Amino acid sequence: MEDEIASMGAVIGASIGGLKSMTATSGPGFSLMQEHIGFAAIAETPCVVVNVMRGGPSTGLPTRPSQGDVMQARWGTHGDHPIIVLTPHSVKETFDLTVTAVNFSEKYRVPVTLLMDEVVGHMREKVRLPEAESIKIIDRIKPDVPPHWYKPFEDNKTGVPPMANFGEGYRYHITGLTHDVMGFPTSKPDEIKACIERLFRKITLGLKDIQLCEHVMVDDAEVVIVAYGCVARTAKQAVRELRERGIKAGLLRLITLWPFPRRALEPLARKVGKFIVPEMNMGQIYREVLRVNAGRAEVVKLNRVDGELMTPQEIVEAL
C-alpha cells in the first residue's frame, strides 16, 4: 500500500474477509498504524503487525538498533484494551514466533505485534525449517448457527466469539465504537461494561498459553538477568562468563512482552537477591520488573541508547 495507514486498513479488511493477514514496518510507521490497531482491538479482528525497532523518537536512528517501542507496543493506541506482543531473539525464532503470532491472533481475535529489533531484523543465521505438516496451525472459530441466529459479539466461556467471514452469507455490523452483542454502537452502561470486560477476560483466560519465557540456569541462580530480543543473546554470553567466574547467574528471557509474564518473574523474585535488566532504552521493561518484584529483590537497570549493541562485558561489569 502507499503508506502504513492504508496497509493496516487493508490487513483488517482482508481479515474480515477470512484471510490471515499481516504487515510490517519500522519506527515511525508503527506510529501511523496505531489508530487502526485500536480499531482491530475493539472490532476483534485477527491480524499481525511486525515492528522492527530502531532508534527514535521521530525518524531517530534508521537501521540502528534500539528497544524503544516496548511501551508503544502496549499502549500506542488510545483506550484501555488488551494486546499480545512477542519478541524473537534469533532468525529461527522469528520464523517460529510469526506462526505463533498468527495463531494467537486467530485464537483470541486480537491484533498481535511481533516486536523485533534492528539487530535481529538484519541478522543472518543458518536455520532448519520444520516440515510444513508439523507446524501447528490454529484457525478462528466459525459460527455453527445459521446467519439469522448469529450474534457476532456474543459472550461464551472463552470470551472469544465465533467469527464469520464476510462473503459467506453472514452480514453483521462492524464498528470502532463500543458495541452490543450484535455489533451496533451502544451507550448503555451495562453493555459497555460487558464489551470491555470481555475483551480483557479472553486474554486473562489464556495467560498460561500466551506468556512465553525461556529459563537459562535459573534453578540455583542468585542473580537473574531479565532480557529480551538481541540483548538476550548478549545476556546468555554474560551468564556463561559469570558462571566461569563462580557467580551463580541466570537468565529469564522474555519471549512474550505483553501481557507481561509476571507468573515467570514472581517465583524468582522470592528466591534471588538481585535482578539486572539490560535494555536498549531508558528502562521500559525495567519498570515492569520493579512493579512485579514488589520490593522483594534488588533491581538494577542497565541501559544503552547510542545505537550500538550492548556487550556481554557491560553486563558482567554492571554485576
Instruction: Tell me the CA distances in angstroms from 37 to 46, 83, 208, 211, 236, one per residue in order.
Output: 10, 10, 24, 21, 34
Domain C-terminal end among 210, 237, 265 = 210
Find the CATH number of the domain harbouring 199. Answer: 3.40.50.970
Q: Is there a single domain that holds both residue 261 and residue 205?
A: no
* Domain end position, chosen among 210, 228, 263: 210
Residues 61 and 194 in one domain: yes
Structural domain total, the chain = 2
Q: What band does 151 get if pLDDT is binned at 50, 70 and 90?
A: very high
Residues 195 and 292 in one domain: no
Say yes or no: 183 and 220 in one domain. no
Residues 28 and 132 reside in one and the same domain: yes
- The CATH number that applies at residue 300 is 3.40.50.920
Burial 4-38 (b: 16+ CB within 10 A, else e): beebbbebbebbbebebbbbbbbbebbbebbebbb
42 Cβ neighbours under 8 A, 6+ residues apart: 79, 81, 175, 176, 177, 178, 179, 199
Residues 281 and 142 in one domain: no
Specify the 3-state DSSP secondary structure of 117.
Answer: strand
pLDDT band at 13 (very low <50, low <70, confident <90, very high): very high
**Cell numbers that stand for 82 in this block:** 488488551
For residue 228, the model assigns a pLDDT of 98
Asked whether residue 52 falls in the same domain as residue 136, the answer is: yes
As a whole number of angstroms, the distance between CA 164 and CA 147 comes to: 9
Q: 120 and 232 in contact (C-beta within 8 Å)?
A: no
**42 and 189 inside one domain:** yes
AA identity, residue 30: F
In this prediction, residues 261-275 reach a mean pLDDT of: 96
Same-domain pairing of 152 and 218 = no
CB 44 within 8 A of CB 174: no
Arithmetic mean of pLDDT over the chain: 96
Q: Is 176 helix (H, G, I), strand (E, B) or coil?
A: coil
Pairing state between β 22-25 and 84-86: unpaired
- Averaged pLDDT, 71-79: 96
Band of the pLDDT at 288, cuts 50, 70, 90?
very high
Look at the block and give the residue holding cell 510444513. Answer: 132
Strands (DSSP E) found in the chain: 22-25, 47-55, 61-65, 84-86, 111-117, 213-216, 223-227, 249-254, 256-258, 274-279, 298-303
Residue for cell digits 561489569?
Answer: 317
State the Cα–Cα distance between residues 8 and 207, nearest whole angstrom. Answer: 26
In the chain, % of residues over pLDDT 70: 100
pLDDT of residue 252: 98
> Residue range 230-253: average pLDDT?
97
Whole-structure pTM value? 0.96
Q: Are residues 47 and 187 in the same domain?
A: yes
Residues 37 and 124 in one domain: yes
- What are the φ/ψ torsions at residue 195 (nearest 5 degrees)? -65, -50
Strand, coil or helix: what is 182? coil
Range of the domain at 249: 214-318
State the pLDDT confidence band at 52, using cuts at 50, 70 and 90: very high
- Final residue of a domain: which of 181, 210, 239? 210
Same domain for 175 and 219, yes or no, is no
